[in-house]
Amino acid sequence: MQRHILTLIICLLAVVAPAQNKVQKSVPTIYVDAGGVMRWSDTKKEASFFGVNYTLPFAHAYRAMGYLGVDRKTAIDRDVYHMARLGLNAYRIHIWDVEISDAEGNLLENEHLELLDYLIHKLQERGIRTVITAQTDFGNGYPERNQPTGGFSSHYDKCAVHSDAEAIAAQEKYIAALVRHVNPYTGYAYKDDPYIVGFEINNEPCHPGTVVETRNYINKVLSALKRAGNRKPVFYNVSHNQHVVEAYYSTAIQGTTYQWYPIGLVSGHTRKGNFLPFVDRYDIPFSNLKGFDKKARMVYEFDPADILYSYMYPATVRTFRTAGFQWITQFAYDPIDMAAYNTEYQTHYLNVAYTPNKAIGLMIAAEAAQKVGRGESFGNYPADTLFNDFRVSYVQDLSELNDGEKFYYSNTTQTRPKDISQLRAIAGCGKSPVVNYEGTGVYWLDRLEEGVWRLEVMPDAVQVSDPFTKPSLDKEVMRIVSGAWDMTLNLPDLGKQFRVNGLNNGNTFSTQAANGKISTLRPGVYLLQREGISASGKWTADAHWQNITLGEYVCPSISDNKGFTVTHSPAKTVDAGKDLQIEAIVAGNEIPDSVIIYTDKISFWNEKNPYLKMNHTGGYTYRATVPATEIKEGCFRYNIVVCQGDKRQTFPSGVARSPLDWDYTSATLWETNIVAPEKSLSLLEIVDADSKLETYTMPEWSRTNRQLIQNAPTEKPTLRITFESKDKASVFVLRRYIKDDIDGRPERLASCRTLCIHAKKIPEGLKAGFITSDGYTYLASCAAATDGIIRVSLQDLKQTNTALLPHVYPVFLDNYFRPQTEIPFKVEGIETLELSFDGVAEKSTEIEIGSIWLE
């Protein structure tokens, strides 16, 4: 019945569509000129788009909304609002054709398609343009199992779907129907909608055949689109199937699409380090092909995956603009109603509420897409960390925009605005010279007129677990807490005395700021008015401003019964006889009465048990100093206990008990190894076949086998790794991130002079060394072992190319960052241990290692 009603609505809207079309003729559209440049139809100026992928109408996101009992249209409304607040102007989706087609390629008018229609309409209301990728040609399951839908592409292998005659016929029928489909919310067929920029034929196609076969396939689909009446630009993916790349440029497609996953995908954990060298260049090796410069360039997907850092997005977009891209869309933005769990794509994680620092980094990247000219270059890293009005910093985990009127920052910064009196927009996380705030959520400050500003504050987000491990809707990775913090503003346009009034629904907060400080500010939207300024009722909650209304506000629901969460990383190893600093993030919906540390020496049966109180140092941070007299050689084990009234919650287990309760059963504690100050620095101890030692092969299709070798009872185990080169010589690399292991012993690190490797078998040409916080690699050749130990003098380490591992996608990009600037090696900067050697074609090479240390 619902389907018939929807069809009737579509037919009725189709009748009135011509009137709407007449009204909308003034809406500029996009065309591609003879030089392969996307331009606006009215001004003929170059276009530049930046935005996200977002998949709620389909696949796992669609199903997850059902599991969670969330209305899908309401969810779309919430997310689109935040896309608007981030300044995005582009949206791309690869449609799961298996969910809106049948076995013959007929288009199904179902809820998936209707939700896509609704989403496109809501994006259009915010001025956000869309590119539609018509088909994915794979199942709709990930991360679950595929659902049996009956769609045409589910009957074919992903490669066969582009070569089988019946499959191609189904695609021709499907894509023609798709572009002719009339959106009941806009009254436009997709092919006529001025807010739809164009169509990409398919997502990451597979073409194992010849150039001629590939060209014929594309031409068939182009003909089907033309017969359907499409006049919009059509794009095709050229970053795959490099053996047929000539085919793409000999067709009538008007644009080409690429992706970039600069640090690989699905590592299974949060990656750490300086990844700026990974996004220094995007060189396309087939740019000299005939027709290359006649096609517009689009990034359909990109993401520095498996990281929570906020410094990468603007740097990536800078490089894309240098390479000539005009459409750039990240993959993928997480729906706010499931973002607490990061189940959709565990390797990606982005949401305003749950990853606030990354979100501001994305907002700054959106500005970079507009301010950096197509083809504009800024030199090589590290010179390109400053470009135009932007700055990125790994050490500070910071992205910044500072152009005089806008001041955006993704983390606490000491940078001063160029002209504080001319500021019109501020967006940030943390503290800055204009905003003193201890919350962790995003805030926006926008000048509406002289002396009148809109303030929007998101609730705080705290990390509960690693968001890049195996996901589940039962496993929370980030938590929203309702903090109330003072906020002090230093804005000459507002002055030191100004009125503060709540604007969003249910927000009755009203106060007078004193000396620029708003006391106990809770998340919400506020109108700020300088003393003596009257807005005369102009700026009400329902007043329109740019692409929002002033009272709009979206945030996740906040649970009242989840208790506290403690985030803490214990020092791995510290020197005996020195004070030990313990710092933790303790967050909840209220301030705890106290936070204390118990060691493993306490007992329920003792009359008195020593404890150490942690001091609140600001925000959610608590800190304590264990005196040097307590730091003796061995292992220091401890719990952190959060106290609220008569309740106790003990971490790391999180159980609602105290270690002094009779029925406390958890045996988990944090541990720090205490060693003699002169003891060498351990970088690797083999404990199992993993031992957090990453192995890579270049090219990546060479194979690796790992085997734990249990030696004599008096010897520690070793790890034997066998690398197998296939049809060509390979390079083999072993890496281990060691910064966390050595951070607790800075004095001992500074005194180290030799890298020592206990090895039972080493390959010829072995090199060893480090990657530093600069992202630079320093290696030295390993001499023969003495007494089973290879010793490498740190003075012999030489700056060399940095292998970009995990492997970058697309695979045609260079595997190495090749530094142009000399940076001297500093032992204080080491972050990652590296061993590397060359393999021999069609032969196996073994390395067997035990412990590695610095002395």
Q: How confident is the model at residue 191 (pLDDT cuts 50, 70, 90)?
A: very high
What is the CB-side half-sphere exposure of residue 317 using CA atoms within 13 A? 32
pLDDT at 530: 96
Say if 565-675 and 681-854 have the same CATH topology. Answer: no
pLDDT tier for residue 726 given thresholds of 50, 70 and 90: confident
The pairing of strands 255-260 and 234-237 is parallel
Domain map (residue ranges) of the chain:
2-262+293-304, 403-549, 565-675, 681-854
- Angstrom CA distances, 843 to 421, 704, 726, stand at 68, 12, 7
> What integer pLDDT is reported at residue 25 of this predicted model?
60
Cα 249 from Cα 236, distance rounded (Å): 10
Q: What is the pLDDT of residue 26?
A: 87
Residue from 303, 209, 215, 298 nearest 257 by CA: 298
**CB 713 within 8 Å of CB 745:** no
Report d(CA 586, CA 567) in Å as an integer.
Answer: 7
592-594-600 Cα angle (round to 5): 120
- DSSP 8-state code for residue 648: E
CATH number, domain 2-262+293-304: 3.20.20.80
- pLDDT, one tens digit per residue, over 670-712 is 999 999 999 999 999 999 999 999 999 988 777 889 999 988 7
Q: What is the pLDDT of residue 91?
A: 98
pTM of the model: 0.95
Report which of residues 536 and 718 the model is more confident about.
718
Q: Give the tens place of pLDDT for each residue, 116-154.
A: 999 999 999 999 999 999 999 999 999 999 999 999 999
- Backbone angles phi and psi of 305, in degrees to 5: -80, 160
What is the rounded CA–CA span in Å between residue 184 and residue 12?
9
As a whole number, mean pLDDT of residues 275-294 equals 97
Residue 465: CB atoms within 10 A of its CB come to 14
CB 325 within 8 A of CB 355: no
Q: Among 50, 13, 742, which Cα is nearest to 364's?
A: 50
Amino acid 6: pLDDT: 45
Superfamily, domain 565-675? Immunoglobulins (2.60.40.10)
* Segment holding 739, helix H or strand E: helix 739-742
pLDDT in tens, 368-424: 999 999 999 999 999 999 999 999 999 999 999 999 999 999 999 999 999 999 999
> What is the per-residue pLDDT for 452?
96
What is the mean predicted confidence (pLDDT) over 826-831? 98
On the question of pLDDT at 560 being above 80, the answer is no
Q: pLDDT for 434-454, tens place per residue?
A: 999 999 999 999 999 999 999
Residue 796: φ, ψ to 5°: -90, -5
Q: Cβ of 609: how many Cβ atoms within 10 Å?
A: 14
Judge whether residue 112 has pLDDT over 90: yes
The CA dihedral of 700, 705, 708, 711, to the nearest 10 degrees, is -120
Top-tier CATH class for 681-854? mainly beta
What pLDDT band is residue 13 in, cutting at 50, 70 and 90? Answer: very low
User: Residue 10: is its pLDDT beyond 80?
Assistant: no
Categorize the per-residue pLDDT at 24 as very low, low, confident or very high, splitting at 50, 70 and 90. Answer: low
Distance from the Cα of residue 128 to its chain's centroid = 21
Quickly tell me which residue has 């360039």 as its tokens.
297
CA dist., res. 829 & res. 720, Å (int): 29
Output the average pLDDT for the chain.
Answer: 94
Q: Where does residue 57 rank: exposed (0-12), middle (13-18), buried (19+ CB within 10 A)?
A: buried
What is the maximum span of the chain, computed from C-alpha positions, in angstroms?
88
Residue with tokens 């997310």: 79
